Structure 1
Amino acid sequence: MRRHRGARTRVVLACAGVLALALASPAMAASAAPTTPTGLLNGGTACATDAGSPAYVAEGLRGLSIAAVPGDTDPADDNRLSLNYRLWPVSDPALTSTLSRPAVVGAEAGVDVPTDDLADGQTYAWQAQTVVEDDASDWSAPCYVTIDDTHPPTPVVSSSNYPEGQLDQGGEPVRFTFGANGASDVVGFEFGWQQDLPVPASGSDPYHDDPANFVRADGGTATVALVPPAGVGSRTLYVSALDRAGNPSMKAAEYSFMVASTAPTITPATASPEFGEKDVLTLTPDPALEEASPVVGYSVTTVGGRHDGTTTVEAAADGTARLPFTFDGVSGERVEVSSKSADGWVSDTAVWYAWADTTPTVRSADYPENGAGGGAGVPGTFTFEPKVKGVVSYTYSFDWGGTEQTVDAEADGTAAIAWTPPDSGSYAVNVYATTADGIQLATCTYFFDVN
């Protein structure tokens, strides 16, 4: 499947062609003699006036669109203005078809030549004429166009540094060579890392406008150096040949290879950073990647912390970088890092995890965890103890949906509360701590039974 990038915008009125020249009866004299049409186009391609170098268009299967701008500048002539077209095969000029349609001053007005009048591989000549009532201009110089509805074969694709179907060390752009596979009219190639290749806009020069997806052929071949999408594992490039009429290969070539991991290494200054503590992460490039092309920077994404986001870090001359890091993810924190080399290569992602249990410890001699104690109306004491530094308070509630209450922590970070169960049965206390920085830590659920 191929997706369209867009089409050339132009004013084209509905075709009103007939197969015989139609000239209207005069109603009034024309204000000025009409002149020869300009802006001649066939299939969105500029008119070729050299019979030895016709324009090639792939229009025969659905008709050939030809168009011109009438040679008239008087808006008053709009209701009397038309364009005549005549077309014939160069090999047999006697087989002439003539079409006519209304026109508007200054606007391109086209007609569609019926498919029955066209043959694949045949060269045609056509002309346009401006008509204002019974007054007609000279015919334009002939335009020459060859119908080409034959698709080129699937191209041949090879790589000098990433053998097909093999695993190779990443880091160096892939050098591809595209071949026309014996076709003599291939003028370029289209390529991409996704199977849906784009369709160039009508009348555009994709080799100039979109060099990331198109390359001109030189003698039927072309070479490109491409950086594959970031990641590790299999990669496939899709390549289609394009002939001079713009026909793509019926089937694109597929070239697959595998890329080994080029992920950097992430090393914390402290083997197991404590929650809330500042640390430094050292980012080190993959050695083979660094040798292929120096790493110039890193993309760093943090997930699970208080200040999640993505940032870029510039690499030092040796390819390494040092990243200040504060572990503040209450349920753990993940750091994802990929490197970028001077040649544009983006590595696959290295992942480093920091984890600490930030739930408070709950103790009660009166109502032991997962045990039974006390009784209805019998008060009990519950003590909360921190597992991380800087705790200033605890927020708790008994059973789910109960009213939350907050108690300040002592200097050592602990707090104690008294609670009296109204009835016997199973209960739970939910409690979380808050630090001096305002961080709400993970919740602990403490289960117990009341006798």
Structure 2
Amino acid sequence: MTGIWPRRGLIGGLALTLAVTGLAVVTTGSVALASPHNETPPIVQLGWTDSATPRKAYDAGDRANLPLGTWQDDTGKSHTSRVYATFDLSSFEGKKIYGGTMFIQEYSAADCGKRAMEIWRTRAVDSTPTWRRAPQPLTKVAESGDVQFCPAHLTFDVGAALRDAAAKKQRRVTFEIRVPEQYESDASYGRHIYWSRGVNLTVQYNSPPKIDNTHLYNGGFACTQLRPYPKIGGFAHRLQAVGTDADPADEFGLTTEYAIWPRGDAAARTVFTRDGGRSGRVNGVTLPEGTLVDGVTYGWQARVGDGAEVSAWSKKCFFTYDATRPSTPTVTSANYPPSGSAAWAPVGEPAVFTFSGNGDRDVAGFEYSWNDLGATGCSEGGAVGQLVCRDPFSYPNRVRADVPGGSATIILSPNGSGPQRLTVRAVDLAGNVSPTTEYQVRVPSSTPEVLVESGEPEWGQEVRLKFVPADGITGVQHYEVILDSGQPETRQAAADGTAEFSFVATNPGGHRLTVRSHSGNGFVSEDGRWFTYFDPWPGVRSDIYLPGQPTGGVGVEGTFTFSPPPGWTDTVAYRYVFGFDPEAVYTEVAAGVDGRATITWTPTVSGFTELIVYAVRANGTVSEYSNWYSFAVAATS
């Protein structure tokens, strides 16, 4: 049975029940115990002895009821029998045994008016003994007299014997079932025990829960006893601990208690509880507002209960609560004038910024970012479900001050052009942050230019690009390139600051590219972006007849090359016609092994003309979309 501790406390002598969801509940009353678990251990030996055959042991067999006391066989010969049952207790190692009940089902009785039965614990045996070599009796465990029914279903309390065996780490316990000595020779007290379910044992037990001293957390940080005690800010009210319980029934029924007190004032110890914990996972409390006082050092510890047992208290943990925000920092720059001066930042030169804590010793460092600053991040993603917070200065864009309340200088490239805003705030050791300071500047454009060197990009063909630094950007050493959503690549720059980049267009939907230049002085340009997409129909290119201004002329032969629609790898032919005519008959031309085809055409008239082209697959299907290639034939010169 899974135990749940009641959340009850005493206020002014009155019992108070608090209903709180997801938060801690203060408890001052004692913990109520739930019922332990019940389990039937395996029986490893069951049988009887016979005084008439003192050297022979009789194991319980199929459909053979077990004789008890004095009885006569079919020839009238008298026998006296005792029953022995041995149970395996090894599964209860490490568990606490509360009690045990033996169940005996009679099959028949010589005289229902006479009944007497005793349960003795003997030295443990591995197999059914004989009358002559009966195991030594240790203690009488229980006895039973008359009951209302006959044959009877009897129960005996054998808990003391089980507890003693567990205390002595004995894996087996043997019980002797007998008629008391004064009646044992009287056949009217004889019985037979039912073979099917005649002897059974139920053990009442519980696995004591344990508190895991390696998983104690507060404010997202691991427990510590080392001085100086850590300062913890915003999440200090979160206490978390891991309890474990070996009983499957208690996996989701643990209750964790947290005791917290101001260091040096144990009398002010307050206890909070949280129900519904899972074995092996944190079960935390959120301290009520007002529990922690700014600047005070606290000790705390935890313990866990399953409703029947409570663990020992964990080791003690200590921290200092810090709720005070540091003061707002100031920002200056050696080379980037503030926008109020009407001056622009220098072209291609990284900014040098100095942040100052202005002597406030609570300022341990600074956080900065172009535009806005995000919230300090903590997550519930720990290995056992705990809140995880990082060292305040392990985050990107944070820098420590040279001394408490001192300053820090950084070198930073802007991530855009035009009006730009640097946002800065101070950070203390507890992770508290100050109000923000904004530093406005005006930055010239630094976007590199992307030129296509291979003509209009085609799907399935190589695309060659050239990167050119923005005006005024000098000393470019390399470019950082990201194609689509891939990993960054580097291309070294030539002496003139340019670089080349090529790739095969494999995505039917097109490609996107981001590039930025890196100069020798540490300056990183803003991102340059380039993209291309592919129309979902076959491509058409001509050596003479180009879209736009009239070209060629009447009688001037030109070539037209067809290429597969994006994604087509099995193009075998093209169907085309010059001029739009619903009744026109299309001409089909076979494609080469590369899926392309070239035709020649000589115009007979000048003026606007359309070439309509479809692609054909190997299975005969025709492309859904056609290319309407429009151009103008120049007048004959």
Query: Which bin holds the TM-score, normalised by the shorter protein?
Result: 0.5 to 0.7
Give, in whole Å, the separation in 2 of the partners of 1:268 and 1:107.
Answer: 57
Deviation at 1:314, TM superposition (A): 4.6
| 1:43 corresponding residue in structure 2 | 219
| 1:346 corresponding residue in structure 2 | 525
| 1:316 corresponding residue in structure 2 | 494
Q: Secondary structure at the match of 1:144?
A: strand
Give, in whole Å, the separation in 2 of the partners of 1:263 and 1:77.
Answer: 63
Give, in whole Å, the separation in 2 of the partners of 1:194 and 1:209.
Answer: 21
| 2:32 corresponding residue in structure 1 | 24
| 2:478 corresponding residue in structure 1 | 296
Greater RCO between the two (CA within 8 Å, min separation 6)?
1
Deviation at 1:66, TM superposition (A): 0.9
Q: Secondary structure at the match of 2:473?
A: helix
Q: Secondary structure at the match of 1:177?
A: strand
Deviation at 1:23, TM superposition (A): 0.9
- Structure 2 vs 1, CA of residues 298 and 208 (structure 1 numbering), >3 Å: closer, same or farther? closer
Q: Does 1:205 align with 2:383?
A: no
Give the counterpart letter for 2:234 in structure 1: A
Q: Does 1:214 align with 2:391?
A: no
Q: Does 1:161 align with 2:335?
A: yes
| 1:144 corresponding residue in structure 2 | 318
Q: Which has the larger radius of gyration?
A: 2
- Structure 2 vs 1, CA of residues 358 and 25 (structure 1 numbering), >3 Å: closer, same or farther? closer
- Structure 2 vs 1, CA of residues 104 and 268 (structure 1 numbering), >3 Å: closer, same or farther? closer
Give, in whole Å, the separation in 1 of the partners of 2:546 and 2:252.
Answer: 84
Deviation at 1:143, TM superposition (A): 2.1
| 2:428 corresponding residue in structure 1 | 243
Q: Secondary structure at the match of 2:474?
A: helix
Contact 1:86 1:96 in 2 (8 A): yes
Give, in whole Å, the separation in 1 of the partners of 2:391 and 2:254.
Answer: 36
- Structure 2 vs 1, CA of residues 388 and 337 (structure 1 numbering), >3 Å: closer, same or farther? farther
Structure 1 unaligned regions, length at least 5: 1-12, 274-279, 302-310, 325-335, 363-382, 418-428, 446-451
- Structure 2 vs 1, CA of residues 36 and 206 (structure 1 numbering), >3 Å: closer, same or farther? closer
Q: Does 1:191 align with 2:368?
A: yes
Give, in whole Å, the separation in 2 of the partners of 1:414 and 1:59.
Answer: 80
Give, in whole Å, the separation in 2 of the partners of 1:357 and 1:243.
Answer: 67
- Structure 2 vs 1, CA of residues 170 and 385 (structure 1 numbering), >3 Å: closer, same or farther? farther
Give the counterpart letter for 1:431 in structure 2: T
Which residue among 268, 276, 293 is the counterpart of 1:95? 268
Give, in whole Å, the separation in 2 of the partners of 1:312 and 1:432.
Answer: 44
Give the counterpart letter for 1:70 in structure 2: G
TM-score for the superposition, normalised by structure 1 = 0.61
Give the counterpart letter for 2:243 in structure 1: P
| 1:425 corresponding residue in structure 2 | none
Q: Deviations over 1:134-181 (max 9, x none)?
A: 644432333223333332233222222323223122323323222234
Give the counterpart letter for 1:253 in structure 2: T
Give, in whole Å, the separation in 2 of the partners of 1:20 and 1:317.
Answer: 78
Give, in whole Å, the separation in 1 of the partners of 2:373 and 2:465.
Answer: 41
Contact 1:69 1:109 in 2 (8 A): yes
- Structure 2 vs 1, CA of residues 285 and 132 (structure 1 numbering), >3 Å: closer, same or farther? closer
Q: Deviations over 1:153-210 (max 9, x none)?
A: 3322222232322312232332322223443233333222231525322434366754
Give, in whole Å, the separation in 2 of the partners of 1:232 and 1:256.
Answer: 12
| 1:85 corresponding residue in structure 2 | 258
Q: Deviations over 1:262-303 (max 9, x none)?
A: 46689999xxx9xxxxxx998764685324xx34348799xx
Contact 1:21 1:100 in 2 (8 A): no
Give the counterpart letter for 2:478 in structure 1: V
Contact 1:55 1:144 in 2 (8 A): no
| 2:295 corresponding residue in structure 1 | 121
Which residue among 179, 198, 206 is the counterpart of 2:356? 179
Give the counterpart letter for 2:221 in structure 1: T
Deviation at 1:110, TM superposition (A): 1.1
Deviation at 1:112, TM superposition (A): 1.7
CA RMSD between the two structures: 4.9
- Structure 2 vs 1, CA of residues 298 and 442 (structure 1 numbering), >3 Å: closer, same or farther? farther
Give the counterpart letter for 1:345 in structure 2: V
Q: Deviations over 1:75-129 (max 9, x none)?
A: 4554774322222233644333212233333221111221143333333222212
| 1:228 corresponding residue in structure 2 | 414
Give, in whole Å, the separation in 2 of the partners of 1:298 and 1:80.
Answer: 55
Contact 1:68 1:109 in 2 (8 A): yes
Deviation at 1:72, TM superposition (A): 4.5
- Structure 2 vs 1, CA of residues 204 and 113 (structure 1 numbering), >3 Å: closer, same or farther? closer
Contact 2:424 2:436 in 1 (8 A): yes
Which residue among 63, 68, 77 is the counterpart of 2:241? 68
Deviation at 1:257, TM superposition (A): 1.7
Q: Deviations over 1:383-436 (max 9, x none)?
A: 9769997679994459xxx878999xxx9964228xxxxxxxxxxx9634799x
- Structure 2 vs 1, CA of residues 201 and 266 (structure 1 numbering), >3 Å: closer, same or farther? closer
| 2:91 corresponding residue in structure 1 | none
- Structure 2 vs 1, CA of residues 172 and 131 (structure 1 numbering), >3 Å: closer, same or farther? same
Give, in whole Å, the separation in 2 of the partners of 1:198 and 1:185.
Answer: 20
Q: Secondary structure at the match of 1:168?
A: coil
Give the counterpart letter for 1:214 in structure 2: R
| 1:416 corresponding residue in structure 2 | 605
Give, in whole Å, the separation in 1 of the partners of 2:601 and 2:480.
Answer: 41
Q: Secondary structure at the match of 2:267?
A: coil
- Structure 2 vs 1, CA of residues 127 and 182 (structure 1 numbering), >3 Å: closer, same or farther? same
Structure 2 unaligned regions, length at least 5: 1-20, 37-97, 99-204, 380-387, 456-463, 484-488, 503-513, 531-544, 562-575, 588-599, 614-625
Report percent identity of matched pairs. Answer: 30
Give the counterpart letter for 2:218 in structure 1: N
| Structure 2 counterparts to residues 332-371 of structure 1, below 5 A | 339-342=517-520, 343=522, 345-346=524-525, 358-359=547-548, 361=550
TM-score for the superposition, normalised by structure 2 = 0.45
Q: Secondary structure at the match of 1:416?
A: coil
Deviation at 1:214, TM superposition (A): 2.8
- Structure 2 vs 1, CA of residues 189 and 388 (structure 1 numbering), >3 Å: closer, same or farther? farther
Contact 1:397 1:430 in 2 (8 A): no
| 1:306 corresponding residue in structure 2 | none
